[in-house]
Structure 1
Amino acid sequence: MNTPSSPLDDTDIQLLNLLQHDASQSNQALAERLGLSPATCHRRIKHLKDEGYIEGQVAILSPQKMADALGWGLSALVEISLDMQTQEALDAFEQRALAEDEVQQCWRVSPGPDFILVVQVKDMPAYQDLARRLFTQDSQVRNVRAFFAVKRAKFGTQWPLPPLPATRRQD
């Protein structure tokens, strides 16, 4: 699986695959699934974290359950185009977007708009407040197109890595 230039071996790839599908597995369970000692498994996970392959481990919340419980139910994908695409203008807008808790993801893209934001807010008035702070008060923002989600058909966080070989899999 690994290429000559790849710093990851097959075991690293398999470990990442298992973790990205269920990071709540114990070190013991991961070690057993991969045929490793728990100490070796722990060292490999620590190395993958130290090298930045694993950025963090989180709980992914259900948007519907959270909306039902808290009333937060408006998701939007927002395209942003700036008047000027200088490094300073792009960096300044990006920093302002990153500072907003409602902005879940911020992507610089090309071609087309300069940014695509994934936004989660309570309701339309909350979106309008965010828009006022982030878009209308910035003289560099030329165009904003917002798309409001009506259904989430798929959501994933996993990289498409090769699956664990059947000979080691313990289901």
Structure 2
Amino acid sequence: MTKKTIFKSLDEFDRAILRLIQRDNKMPQRHIAERVNLSAAAVQRRIAAMEKTGVITANAAIVNTHAVHMSITAIVEIDLKDERLETVDNAKALFRKAPEVQQCYYVAGGMSFILVVVAPDMPAYEETTRRLFAQNSAVARYRSLIALDRVKAGTEIVIP
């Protein structure tokens, strides 16, 4: 089943359920059912189906970085030396495995990747940049943008 097929199969009930659980995935299914005009069993089946097909990819908590002493957030632009399939795939694998990398996007338009990286302090961030970028022969250059304030962070997307 292709992604296009999955998304075409979402009806208004599925979309309403997704809008609710993006804001609070711990909302009891009976409350979701009341809000979308379905039975709790129907909501449970629909959520399970969306998990199975990959529409819902994870249930996760958004953690306050300061509460866990991760005070440095950096947006990092990565330019690879080349865009060969092997180079790109190796970079993707490396960034996926690095726990400091919170988000990773393979992009078009001048850079190869944009990463969101967290660290407890600048020495730890420097170690991360050395390990992931400076000592990586596939990286031509990188640029760090240090966030001054986390104005908005989350995973909610607009579902029409």
TM-score, length-normalised on structure 2?
Answer: 0.91
1:30 aligns with 2:28: no
Task: Give the distance between the partners of 1:161 and 1:98, measured in 2 at CA.
Answer: 27
Aligned to 1:165: none
Counterpart CA distance in 1 for 2:55 and 2:91 is: 27
Alignment of 1:48-67 (within 5 A): 48-67=50-69
Quote the Cα distance in structure 1 between the aligned partners of 2:67 and 2:82. 41
Q: Is the 8 A contact 2:76 2:115 kept in 1?
A: yes
Contact persistence 2:102–2:116 (CA under 8 A): yes
Aligned length: 154
* Matched residue SS, 1:23: coil
Task: Return the match for 1:143 from 141, 144, 151.
Answer: 141
Q: Which residue identity does 1:128 align to in structure 2?
A: E
Write the distance in 2 (CA, Å) between the matches of 1:104 and 1:156.
12
Q: Runs of at least 4 residues of structure 1 off by over 6 A?
A: none
Partner in structure 2 of residue 153 of structure 1 = 151
Identity over aligned pairs, percent:
38
TM-score, with length taken from structure 1: 0.86
Cα distance in structure 1, aligned partners of 2:82 and 2:67? 41
Q: Secondary structure at the match of 1:146?
A: strand
Larger radius of gyration: 1
What is the aligned-residue RMSD (CA, Å)? 1.2
Unaligned runs of 5+ in 1: 163-171
Gaps of 5+ in 2: 1-6
2:16 matches 1:14: yes
1:98 counterpart residue number: 96
